[in-house]
Amino acid sequence: MIEILATGALSTVQDLGRFGVLRFGVGTSGAMDDIALAVGNILLGNDGNAAGIEVPILPFRLRFDADTDFALTGADCAATLDGQAVPPWWCLHARRGQVLALGVPRSGARAYLTVGGGLDVPAVLGSRSTQLRGSFGGFEGRPLKKGDALAIVARAEGATPVSAISASGFGVRPPELGLPLPSGQEDVIAVRVLPAAEYDSYTAESLAQFWHQPWLVTPQSDRYGYRLEGPGLQATRSMELRSHGIVPGVIQVPHSGQPIIQLRDAQPSGGYPKVGTVIEADLWRLGQARIGQSLRFVQVDHAQATVALEEKERYLVQLQQAVQLQRKIWNN
C-alpha cells in the first residue's frame, strides 16, 4: 500500500491506454509519455501494461506502507527517499514507512512512479487508466488527493526484488539518448508529423511557416490537447466539416488559425479541419513538453512514420532484454 501525502492537481493512475472503444465514444486515456511508463515497468520486471502514477504538477509526496520496489522515470524531478537523492530513470527498494518526495522538474513535464507488481485498481473497459472526462477508471475515476491509499498487485512468485540485486538500485539512460530527434534550437522539442486530410486547404505561405516556425505550448494546454500559439494558418477556402473521428496526435485548426494537438484524453470525434498528425512514435515527446516550451514540426511520410514506430518498439525490446540479462548476471 502507498499513501499520498501531498499532490498537485491532476496526478492520476495510468497504464498504456484504453484501446478498441473509440467507436463507443470513449477516448484512449493512458500515459502521456508511454515510454516513461513502459521503462519503469521494464526496470521492475512488471507486466508491460502495469499501472503507475503520472505526476504532471509537482511537488508530490507519498509514503510506502510496506517494503516496495519502485521506479521513477520521465521528468527529472530532484527526487528523494527519506532525504536521500534518487536519480532519474532509476529503480530502488523502499522500506516500510519511507517517504518519497518529488520536487520541481529540472527537465521534462511529467514524472512517472511505477511499483513492483503495479497498482491494484480495477480494470474498466480493458484498462486501469483514469478517464477524467467520464470519471471512471484509475483510482475512483478522479485525480489523486492527499490521504488516498493505493493497493499494489502482489508480485509473481519468484520475482527478484531490487534489494536482492543492488542496495543502491539501478537505472537506464533516458530515451532522448536512445531515440534522439534534435530540434536544432534550444528548449524546442521536435516531433514528426504526417500531413492530414485538409493539409492542401492552407496557403503555401502558412504551410511553410507551419514547418519552419516554432509553436508555443500555451497555458490552455492539458491532457485533452495542446493549444499552440504561432504565426497562424490561413485557409484557402471556407471549410465547414461534419464531426468525424480523431485520435491522439491529430492537429486540428480552429477558425483562429492556431493549431490544437489532440492528446490522450481527447474526445474521439471533432469537426475542425486537420492539417497534420503527430506520428505515434513521437507522442511521448509531446508528453514531456512544458507550458511555455516550443514545438517544431518535422514533415515525414507514411513509410518514415512506420520506421520510427519500429525503432521505438525495438528500443523497448532491447532495453527489456538488457535489463533481464543484467538481472540474471546479478542473481548469479
Task: Give the DSSP letter of residue 131.
Answer: B
Same domain, residue pair 209 and 230:
yes
Q: Which three cell numbers stand for residue 237?
A: 477556402
**Alpha-carbon distance 78 to 55, whole Å?**
13
Cell 514531456 sits on residue: 288
Letter for the amino acid at 70?
F
| Residue 255 within any structural domain of the chain | yes
**Alpha-carbon distance 332 to 325, whole Å?**
11
State the total domains in the chain: 2
Write down which residue in 145, 175, 205 finishes a domain: 175
Write down which residue in 140, 175, 210 finishes a domain: 175
- Residue among 50, 54, 96, 94 nearest 77 (CA): 54
Same domain, residue pair 160 and 213:
no
Residue 113's domain comprises: 2-175
| Residue 310 within any structural domain of the chain | no
CA dist 192 → 199, 207, 231 (Å): 15, 15, 19
Position 324 scores a pLDDT of: 84
Letter for the amino acid at 249?
G
Cβ-proximal residues to 163 (8 Å cutoff; 6+ apart), any chain: 67, 69, 93
Same domain, residue pair 254 and 289:
yes
Position 166 scores a pLDDT of: 66
Same domain, residue pair 138 and 231:
no
DSSP β-ladder status, 260-262 and 225-229: antiparallel
Angle in degrees, 0-180, between the axes of helices 34-44 and 302-331, rounded to the nearest 10: 20
Top pLDDT among 162 and 203 is at 203
| Residue 313 within any structural domain of the chain | no
Lowest mean pLDDT among 143-147, 185-189, 210-214, 276-280: 185-189
Same domain, residue pair 262 and 141:
no
pTM of the model: 0.94
Summarised one tens digit per residue, pLDDT across range 317-331 is 999 998 888 777 776
| Residue 331 within any structural domain of the chain | no
| Residue 327 within any structural domain of the chain | no
Same domain, residue pair 8 and 144:
yes
DSSP β-ladder status, 244-245 and 250-252: unpaired
Same domain, residue pair 170 and 194:
no
Same domain, residue pair 44 and 99:
yes
Is 79:54 a contact under the CB 8 Å cutoff? no
Same domain, residue pair 62 and 200:
no
Same domain, residue pair 107 and 251:
no
Same domain, residue pair 223 and 153:
no
